[in-house]
A = this chain, B = another copy of it.
Amino acid sequence: MSNIPVARWWRSIATAGAGCSERLLFLARSAKRPPYTLGGYDGEVPGYTKDKQKIATRLRRIEGQVRGIQKMVEDDRYCIDVLTQVNATRAALESVALRLLADHTEHCVMDAIQSGGGTEKVRELNDAVERLVRT
């Protein structure tokens, strides 16, 4: 390792089918970040990185919907109308879940397989699909 510049070694950890790995994320976090990777460094990346802003925006909207439902209940609004809003919020959360899972598959799972592994990631993905369908 002495032959590799720290920045390149670091990048290799952060990108080798990684960034998506809990353990590597932990490693990356516990390691001291080299201070000179100015901007060029993108660190650990979960699968949803590129959609991060979009997902954050959707979650804020969902938070607003939940607050709206609280207000409806507070105001004794009609059950069926409250239910309609609850369903709209459930659908919005389901969309976020599908987006997260799709991003995870497109990045974390694909990267892991391309790096020659991926069996564990695929098993984890299948479990996640099952929980998503059954929730």
Chain A residues engaging chain B, CB cutoff 8 angstroms: 20-22, 25, 42-49, 52, 55-56, 59-60, 62-63, 66-67, 69-70, 73-74, 76-84, 86-87, 89-91, 93-94, 96-98, 100-106, 108-110, 113-114, 118, 122, 124-126, 128-135
Q: Provide the main secondary structure of the chain A interface.
A: helix
Residue of B nearest to A108 (CB): B79
Give this chain's copy count.
4
**A23 CB to nearest chain B CB (Å):** 10
5 closest A-B pairs (Cβ-Cβ)?
A79-B104, A102-B126, A87-B135, A113-B113, A63-B66
**A52 CB to nearest chain B CB (Å):** 6
Residue of B nearest to A87 (CB): B135
Cα A11 to Cα B113 with chains together (Å): 23
Question: Are the CB atoms of B59 and A70 closer together than 8 Å?
Answer: yes
A and B contact pairs by CB, cutoff 8 A, 5 listed: A80-B124, A82-B100, A86-B100, A90-B94, A94-B133
Question: Are the CB atoms of B97 and A86 closer together than 8 Å?
Answer: yes
- In this complex, which of A63, A78, A100, A134 has the most chain B Cβ atoms within 10 angstroms of its Cβ? A78
